[in-house]
Structure 1
Amino acid sequence: MRGDPLAGLLEGPRARGALMIRACFDPPWSVRVEDRAPLTVMLMVRGEGWVVPDDGERIRLAAGDLAIARGPDSYTCADAPGTPPQALILPGGQCAYPDGRLLNGSMDLGVRAWGDRLDGSTVVLIGTYLMQGEISGRLLDALPPLLSLGAEEWPCPLTPILMEEIARDEPGQEVVLDRLLDLLVIAALRAWFSRPEAAAPAWYRALADPVVGRVLRLVQDDPAHPWTVASLATKAGVSRAALARRFTDLVGEPPMTHLTGWRLALAADHLRTTEDTIGAIARQVGYGSAFALSSAFKRVYGVSPQEYRVGVGSGMGVGVG
């Protein structure tokens, strides 16, 4: 991923046992989502509907359109903005009536299908990352609470594959769907970030600057190097003061603060995806010892690296990485 900041940003999604269903409805229909999931993808396969956030602009989805909602904010999916909710989606994939009574499977339609009837006039594929540790915190920070892509600007090649796979009941289906969900999210966000109006993060926009962009790439490509403001300024061909001022203006934080955040984000990813020791991870991300990494990590994440690893492994979703 050297020199490819978008790849570095999108490398994060790693679904594990994600919730993925076909929602099948006939109008009028409305579902209130209060599951606080970090990221949910909604792909309209047939019919049309609306995604109505508690705050912000509502989005209409036609067949082929896609929406991505970033938690923990709640929102409503419905055939029309004014349709009252008929069901609630709660944390852990639990479903209830609006009065709080559990649905107890009354809307289940078979393998990973839910709603009124399988041949309903509206079909939505929904994929939900259940734990915050499955998504890079840098990715989540880069996204608005709700975004959408129209079918005319991004025809999704994965729709027929997802529709076929989600109806299977075979060994390994969950892993296949997890990987397909990751591919769907990465492809969609790559298309979204390429749009001029996409609100990419400040550090991403700053990559276009000839000075700050070079420094950002140096830090991203070799985080373990013992960088200082002076050494980065030398590489960029400017003075320390000029770099510090320009970097802070464009990125929103000083160079060393950004470097620390990047190193700790990488450490969190290593804790989540490898069995490397804390000392080995420390060396990979630029800390001289396990103690140095642990001190910095706890200061930012509120838990030690070991507590973070245990929490993510147990499904508690500790930290954001």
Structure 2
Amino acid sequence: MDALADLLDGPRARGAFLMRSIMDPPWAVRIEDRAPLTLVSMVRGDAWLVPDDGAPVPLRTGDIAVVRGPDPYTIADDPATPPGAVIHPGELSTTPEGEELCAVLDLGVRTWGERTDGSAVMISGTYQMHGEITQRLLRALPPQLVLDGQSWDSPLPALLASEIVKDEPGQEVVLDRLLDLLLIGVLRAWFSRPEAKAPPWYLAQSDPVVGRALRLIHDDPAQQWTVAELAAKAGVSRAALARRFTALVGEPPMAYLTNWRLALAADALREPDVTIGAVARQVGYGSAFALSAAFKRVRGISPQEHRIGGTRTPSDG
């Protein structure tokens, strides 16, 4: 497993909120659901993504937008159009005055709007992601990114558009997997662009030496890796791996391994029935004491303090 696959394993869609919206101008929808990540596919017509803090971003037919929450934003036919609907947490839609709209604008299976033949059609998929691993991915993304449909050829948007209106057995699982595939495709295409300023850990994956070491760490973080062992499997000397890894990733191999193990541990500790000792063994520490010492040294709090809510998130590359 590579670093991107590991990070995407956290935000995997499970019963994700998917909705097809159909609108006619003038229209504007205010998004206040505080979702950590939302994907918007513009199926037909044009729109504008209007953040509260930043310049409006055009969305053309075929474009895909990924919006990092939880800050609110608006999607509209024109940046000047005032919102006629507000989306709240819990999939609740209201007028700006608070009147519920869910039943009023219901157009059928996972479809919401004014009429079925409206000029603008967009599909939105909302991820509810929490935890240390997914935060590493979110910190690598801008508040809003838009992938131009003209420069990215994929059958996935059309397939999602055709599947979202079906009401068949197992359909939620089908839609979850399609949303995952679309997100992965968009992020890979985005990170490959110079303007994306991809994080060092992503760029380093293409290096034949450092990429191999990263995959080894992510495949088996509990293995008792040393720089010498990683270097041998990567086919270079210990000094060469340490120098090259630090230059490309921004931290030494053992520091990266420690931070990754502690991120995994921080998420595992959120499960109330898992003991600290079990988490320690899962991420490569021989005992609860060893994990606690590393956790306290790097994060400033104990695993138990983290578990009861005293989390302090460290910065990472």
1:27 equivalenced with 2:64 (yes/no): no
1:185 equivalenced with 2:196 (yes/no): no
Give the equivalent residue in structure 2 for 1:116: 114
Please list the CA deviations of residues 164-222 of structure 1 after superposition, one character each: whole Å capped at 9, or x if unmatched: 22112222221211111111111111111111221211333345678866654554344
Rate the CA distance shift 1:285–1:201 in 2: closer, same or farther, 3 A. Answer: same
Does the residue aligned with 1:99 lie in a helix, a strand or coil? coil
Rate the CA distance shift 1:9–1:131 in 2: closer, same or farther, 3 A. Answer: closer
Does the residue aligned with 1:136 lie in a helix, a strand or coil? helix
Does the residue aligned with 2:103 lie in a helix, a strand or coil? coil
Q: Match of 1:77, as an amino acid?
A: I
CA contact (8 A) 1:64 1:156 kept: no
CA contact (8 A) 1:14 1:135 kept: no
- Shifted more, 246-255 versus 217-226: the winner is 246-255
CA distance in 2, matches of 1:16, 1:301: 33
Normalising by the residue count of structure 2, what TM-score does the alignment of the two structures yield?
Answer: 0.79
Give the equivalent residue in structure 2 for 1:7: 5
CA contact (8 A) 1:223 1:286 kept: yes
What is the aligned length? 307
- Shifted more, 146-155 versus 136-145: the winner is 136-145
- Shifted more, 195-204 versus 28-37: the winner is 195-204
CA distance in 2, matches of 1:188, 1:173: 22
CA distance in 1, matches of 2:23, 2:278: 51
Deviation of the 1:75 alpha carbon:
1.0
CA RMSD of aligned residues (A): 3.7
CA distance in 2, matches of 1:210, 1:46: 42
Q: Match of 1:128, as an amino acid?
A: T
What is the aligned-residue identity percentage?
62
2:49 to 37, 48, 51: 51
1:158 to 149, 156, 159: 156
Q: Match of 1:169, as an amino acid?
A: D
Does the residue aligned with 1:132 lie in a helix, a strand or coil? coil
Give the equivalent residue in structure 2 for 1:316: none
Rate the CA distance shift 1:112–1:208 in 2: closer, same or farther, 3 A. Answer: closer
Give the equivalent residue in structure 2 for 1:64: 62
1:202 to 200, 203, 226: 200
CA contact (8 A) 1:31 1:87 kept: yes
Rate the CA distance shift 1:293–1:52 in 2: closer, same or farther, 3 A. Answer: same
Deviation of the 1:154 alpha carbon:
1.0
Deviation of the 1:29 alpha carbon:
0.5
- Shifted more, 149-158 versus 5-14: the winner is 5-14
CA distance in 1, matches of 2:211, 2:128: 34
- Shifted more, 290-299 versus 169-178: the winner is 290-299
CA distance in 1, matches of 2:38, 2:141: 12
Deviation of the 1:276 alpha carbon:
8.0
- Shifted more, 279-288 versus 163-172: the winner is 279-288
CA distance in 1, matches of 2:164, 2:216: 42
Rate the CA distance shift 1:131–1:7 in 2: closer, same or farther, 3 A. Answer: closer
Rate the CA distance shift 1:22–1:211 in 2: closer, same or farther, 3 A. Answer: closer
Give the equivalent residue in structure 1 for 2:125: 127
Q: Superposition pairs for residues 244-259 of structure 1, below 5 Å?
A: 251-253=249-251, 255-259=253-257
Rate the CA distance shift 1:133–1:178 in 2: closer, same or farther, 3 A. Answer: farther
CA distance in 2, matches of 1:143, 1:257: 23
Q: Superposition pairs for residues 94-105 of structure 1, below 5 Å?
A: 94-105=92-103
Give the equivalent residue in structure 2 for 1:169: 167
CA distance in 1, matches of 2:97, 2:189: 40
Give the equivalent residue in structure 1 for 2:39: 41
Does the residue aligned with 2:172 lie in a helix, a strand or coil? helix
1:142 to 140, 143, 168: 140
- Shifted more, 82-91 versus 247-256: the winner is 247-256
Ranges in structure 2 where 5+ consecutive residues have no aligned partner: none
Ranges in structure 1 where 5+ consecutive residues have no aligned partner: 312-318
CA distance in 2, matches of 1:135, 1:43: 25
CA contact (8 A) 1:207 1:213 kept: yes
Deviation of the 1:289 alpha carbon:
2.3
CA distance in 2, matches of 1:29, 1:191: 30
Q: Match of 2:260, as an amino acid?
A: W
